[in-house]
A and B are shown apart, each in its own frame.
Chain A
Amino acid sequence: AQSVTQLGSHVSVSEGALVLLRCNYSSSVPPYLFWYVQYPNQGLQLLLKYTSAATLVKGINGFEAEFKKSETSFHLTKPSAHMSDAAEYFCAVSSGTYKYIFGTGTRLKVLA
């Protein structure tokens, strides 16, 4: 069985500060891992994905995530937060079939 845990339903950072959103997963098979972003009144948009190639994955808008098998983690980071990064972020895991398991989401607030 697969599962995803996102630590922190709300995270606040100052503009220009490091963004760190945490995601831990459980999977009995090699996972595909995804981060999606949801802006207000919009659907989910793919930020980045891990598919067993490089463990450090770079995505859009300056975000990146590192797959750490030993820690079963896939944390999302951005060196310098921008006001436009305020949104809800979802981590998801898939075994490569139809089934995607989503975390409960982390709402990022960026303070001026």
Chain B
Amino acid sequence: DADVTQTPRNRITKTGKRIMLECSQTKGHDRMYWYRQDPGLGLRLIYYSFDVKDINKGEISDGYSVSRQAQAKFSLSLESAIPNQTALYFCATSEPPGQSTGELFFGEGSRLTVL
């Protein structure tokens, strides 16, 4: 089984619908992230969380919200989806810098299409 699991892997929805993308991890990491990937733009950070009570906005958080239900679970919500939120979304985890060299561990991605 994958260390970082995302569901759903693919989703097609309509403008205005509420969508939740879920992420769970078995790596035991405290730090979790949500990124968005668009062609030619690389990965951009939406939200990040250092623990259950510490959630922070990234560079493109408008239109998104998150919930850290447990150390292992971090969900991303689109309250009212719009077409320009069509993208590939990645969840990632990491250890704190002092405990490792800090690389990110990624899930396999959730492809969202908003019509």
Contact = CB atoms under 8 A, between A and B. Distances in A.
Interaction A to B: yes
Contacts of B107: 43
B105 to A, nearest CB: 8
A92 B38 CA distance: 16
A44 B109 CA distance: 9
Contact of A42 (B56, B101, B102, B109): B109
A43 B40 contact: no
A96 interface: yes
A49 interface: yes
Nearest to B106: A43
**Chain B, interface SS category:** strand
A103 B106 CA distance: 16
A2 interface: no
Given A42-B108, A43-B90, A44-B90, A49 B101 contact: yes
Interface string A23-44: 0000000001010100001111
Contacts of B40: 9, 104-105
A111 interface: no
Interface in B80-115: 90, 97, 101-109
Chain B interface size range: 20 to 34
Chain A interface size range: 20 to 34
B79 to A, nearest CB: 24
B106 A97 contact: no
Which of the listed residues B31, B40, B42, B56 has the most CB atoms from chain A within 10 Å of its own CB?
Answer: B42
Nearest to A42: B108
A102 interface: yes
A105 B109 contact: no
A42 to B, nearest CB: 6
B48 interface: yes
Interface of A: 9, 32, 34, 36, 41-46, 49, 51, 90, 92, 94, 96-100, 102-105
